[in-house]
Structure 1
């Protein structure tokens, strides 16, 4: 299924749409996402979205968000080649899965519901402060956002 990209993202991605794997649900024209996006914001692995058929393109196209899965989508851009193993170790410690784009510099990270995202974020932000990576939180699940709010209240 396809997510049409805004012009600015499309230029950067060198594509007019990002295509994600999706599985059928029991509701007609609703699908469950089966991977983590590199460019699309607001959706994560397992989320349910409504699609419409684009007969000209012969594909299903995103229409609207339906419900979240509890997973979050985070992106990392590697700025320093030497940091890959450190980022890899952090992601493994929090039981995340991820995909790397063809350049090897953009990582699409699936943060599972059970992950302590607040702690993981602290570790990643340390590397951001060293200017070794860029970080984008493209879709944070409610439980991960709530964990960040609790962390803010404690500090």
Structure 2
């Protein structure tokens, strides 16, 4: 396995809270192609299992994201918990839907959610949007696969 550096552009004064995110990946048979093996917290446009092209950066001594190659069918959303007491209910719904997620102590209110291709995203999205309307969470759709977009009648 290899770590791949994703250089992040600032989206505001405090977002994202880091300038580089490093994701795990594995080599494929194609030179400089990597399959991602975890869900990004901050890098946009990529999801678990996606194929990406990397370039070696000898000065930094690491592999750096170059471009997206192809999607895996997985999607990535980020859930920011506004009401921390809702965490258990949110995680229970994600588990029930068949999703997995990552969290990190230094970014406690943030869940990086992997939505596998077999999950009915329309239903999950409606439920999450209702939680947004209630002021319980904020939602960021970072990488929605074409498979999941096809389930949505009017996806932005």
The normalised TM-score by structure 1 is 0.92
SS in 1 for 2:38: coil
Q: Which residue of 1 aligns with 2:25?
A: 22
RMSD: 1.4
1:99 aligns with 2:102: yes
Q: Secondary structure at the match of 2:60?
A: coil
Query: What is the distance in 2 between the residues matched to 1:129 and 1:7?
Result: 26
Deviation of residue 7 (structure 1)?
Answer: 3.0
Q: Is the 8 A contact 1:10 1:16 kept in 2?
A: no
Q: Which runs of 5+ in 2 are unaligned?
A: none
Superposed counterparts of 1:1-155, under 5 Å:
1-8=4-11, 11-102=14-105, 103-149=107-153, 152=154
The answer to whether the 8 Å contact 2:10/2:16 transfers is: no
Aligned residues: 150
Work out the CA distance in 1 between the residues paired with 2:5 and 2:38. Answer: 12
Between structures 1 and 2, the one with greater helix share = 1
